[in-house]
Amino acid sequence: MTPEYDQSQSPNILDVTDLSVGPTSENTVDIIRDLNFSINKGATFGIIGETGCGKTMTAKAIMNLLPLGIQKKTGEIFLDGIPIHTLPMKEMRNILGKKIAFIPQNSAGALNPLYKVGPQFEFVLKWRFGLQFSQAKRTAKEWFEKVKLENIERIYESYPCQLSGGQLQRITIALALSLEPTLLIADEPTTALDSITRKEILTLLTSLKKEYNLNLLLITHDVSVVQKICDRVAVMYAGEIVECGLTEDLLKNPKHPYLTGLLNALPSPNKKRLEHLTGSVPTLQLPLNGCTFFQRCKDKMDHCNTNPPPVYTTRNREIRCFLYENN
């Protein structure tokens, strides 16, 4: 599980180096700055952070589907050794849906409301594997079973509006898995669900992950989700990874002041008072000189406001903070 940044041997499914994404106009701060991470084969990598810190943009940058007006400024992305950052959109289309699959956040909107769920699923299978009609139908129903849907016959002939959020999320998960992707990106797959359904979906994802040896990039803002399925996790704050390491180690022994504050703010039965992080995320309209977390940091030092901290690597851990300069 030790991370190795050696592209020639390519032990990693995904390597992202120096990724910066920003608006096309020059004057604003980039949304994502100097992102570095990699995902080992068969591992689940989590990206955790609060709303607007650039988690979804990272996923979109990997898939080369950034919205209008936002572009990738620097960075290299290797998927299983293929430099996908160099591919033009035409060739990228062959990667998308074949090597990369995506589980969207809002599963209710992810299916076309005009087509029945089953035939829609069949269409994807026919397109991806060139299956015949009867074969596609059988495979689709098999997948419906694998994600533990009940009443398959009824669901198969239903329109998306007739199904519940949990059922739709299972279908989108099945759809993504049925593509047999090299890398599966799940963008907050449990956000739109209530806590019971969320637990079920997480259990399902965990078991499917084991069964199919998935390479999963999981984007979430829920620490409990990360705790459950991720092997490694990166904590993002205002467009940067502030801390990255093995999940268990990271959550037990947080080092960056942001992560420390974040974990302290979690409620637990034996806490009388909740601690909180003061302030809010900096707006990215003004240029940032020092550390992005400076305004809210409890352990800030004088030079934090003037110099952006580099990444310090200690045992299995990368931290973007001057506190760990000498370790």
Partner 1 sequence: MNKYPKTVFVPLILLLAILILSFLVPFLRGGIASQYDLHFERALQPPSLAYPFGTDSLGRDLFSITFMAAKSSFMVGFGVVFLAALIGVPIGMIAGLKGGFIDTVLIRITDGFLAFPPLILPFTITALLGPSLTNITIAIAVAWFPWYVRIVRARTLEIRSSGYVESAKVMGAGWTHILKKHIFPNAFPAVLIQASADIGYAILMAAGLSFLGLGAQPPQLEWGLLITQSRISFLYSWWTILPPGIGLFITVVICNYLGDSLREYYDPRI
Residues in the site for partner 1, rule: CB under 8 A? 63, 65, 68, 92-98, 100-102, 104, 106-114, 124, 172, 179
Considering the complex, what minimum distance in angstroms separates the CB of residue 158 from partner 1? 13
Q: Which residues pair with 76 in a beta bridge?
A: 17
* Cα four-point dihedral sign 313, 319, 322, 327: negative
Q: Which is nearer to partner 1, 79 or 250 (CB)?
A: 79
| Residue 97 vs 308, nearer CB to partner 1 | 97
The residue among 110 and 323 lying less far from partner 1, judged by its C-beta, is 110
Widest CA span in the chain: 69
> Shortest Cβ distance from residue 107 to partner 1 (Å)?
8
Rounded Cα distance between 4 and 204, Å, is 30
Read off the amino acid at residue 36.
N
Mapping DSSP to helix (H, G, I), strand (E, B) and coil, where does residue 313 land? strand
Given a contact cutoff of 8 angstroms between Cβ atoms, the answer to whether 230 and 209 are in contact is no
Minimum CB–partner distance for residue 282 and partner 1 (Å)? 27
Nearest to 165 by CA among 189, 193, 200: 193
- CA 296 from chain centre, in angstroms, equals 25
Residue 119 or 308 having the CB closest to partner 1 = 119
CB of 114 to partner 1, least distance (A): 5
Q: How far is the CB of 270 from partner 1 (least distance, A)?
A: 41
Q: How many residues appear in the chain? A: 327
> Is the CB of 40 or the CB of 107 nearer to partner 1?
107
Looking at the Cβ atoms of 107 and 220, the one nearer to partner 1 is 107
How many whole angstroms separate alpha carbon 234 and alpha carbon 244?
Answer: 4
User: In the complex, what is the shortest distance from the CB of residue 63 to partner 1, in angstroms, rounded to a whole number?
Assistant: 6
- Identify whether the C-beta of residue 56 lies closer than 8 Å to the C-beta of residue 187: yes
